[in-house]
Amino acid sequence: GESVGLHLPTLSVQEGDNSIINCAYSNSASDYFIWYKQESGKGPQFIIDIRSNMDKRQGQRVTVLLNKTVKHLSLQIAATQPGDSAVYFCAENIIRRRYIFGTGTRLKVLA
Amino acid sequence: ETGVTQSPTHLIKTRGQQVTLRCSSQSGHNTVSWYQQALGQGPQFIFQYYREEENGRGNFPPRFSGLQFPNYSSELNVNALELDDSALYLCASSLGQGRDNEQFFGPGTRLTVL
């Protein structure tokens, strides 16, 4: 069946270091992916997206990498800050109106 | 510009009851999607409304239903509540139904079914 999952449920990173959050997807037909950040008590917030015709996309302090060969997605956060502490989800878009979210990875930034 | 708002914030119901959750979309947004997020899980797509019509549905039974009003606000109705319906219910609005239109999420309604 189709699924989007994450390898690490919790990631602890020292402030100032880079963070890498991983995600595996199983549906080879997926052609659009989004990373979301969810802080406690809030809804998910869009971070960055990538289409399947790309393998890398950069934003402000964030980079998403897509490896279609192994169906793997990663989110890199440079110079991680305390405000980056949250749960991060990847979401996979198969049908235009439907997103499938992964389980999530909790990022803890250590001072 | 007002963001997506949801009401109520928290709700406690008993098994078998019915519940209505409300969502006000961001100004100018004509598309609303509803998600169920169980504790420790990612959001699961319930359905989407575009210009007052259901526009796509996830794997949820018919006792989950919705409405979208002319002002694009929306309701999620759940009948015959079950214990497993306990979750955070999120709505997200967007300018259109296409995936190029970013979804903006509300803070959610926390439903507890006893």
What is the biggest distance separating any 2 CA atoms in chain A, rounded to whole angstroms?
41
Identify whether the C-beta of residue A25 lies closer than 8 Å to the C-beta of residue A52: no
Option in A93, A100, A102 nearest B99 (CB): A93
Identity at B53, one-letter amino acid code: E
For residues B29-51, average pLDDT: 93
The string of DSSP codes covering B39-66 is TTS--EEEEEEETTEEEEE-S--TTEEE
pLDDT class of A96 with cuts at 50, 70, 90: low
pLDDT class of A97 with cuts at 50, 70, 90: low
Q: What three-state secondary structure class fits A54?
A: coil
Q: Please give the pLDDT value at position A5.
A: 45
Partner B contacted by A2 (CB < 8 A): no
For residues A74-97, average pLDDT: 91
Q: How far is A108 from chain B (nearest CA, A)?
A: 15
For residues A54-78, average pLDDT: 96
What does the pLDDT look like over B49-104, one tens digit per residue? 999 999 889 999 999 999 999 999 999 999 999 999 999 999 999 988 777 778 99
Rg of chain A over CA atoms, in angstroms? Answer: 13
CA A7 to chain centre: 11
Q: Please give the pLDDT value at position A2.
A: 38
The CA distance from A52 to B42, in Å, is 22
Residue A93 above 90 pLDDT?
no
* Pairwise CB contact (< 8 Å): A104 & B42: yes
What does the pLDDT look like over A12-55, one tens digit per residue? 999 999 999 999 987 888 889 999 999 988 999 999 999 999 99
Q: A99: which 2 tokens? A: 């997103």
The mean predicted confidence, pLDDT, of chain B is 93
The CA distance from A44 to B91, in Å, is 10
pLDDT class of B1 with cuts at 50, 70, 90: low
Q: How far is B51 from chain A (nearest CA, A)?
A: 14
Q: Please give the pLDDT value at position A90.
A: 95
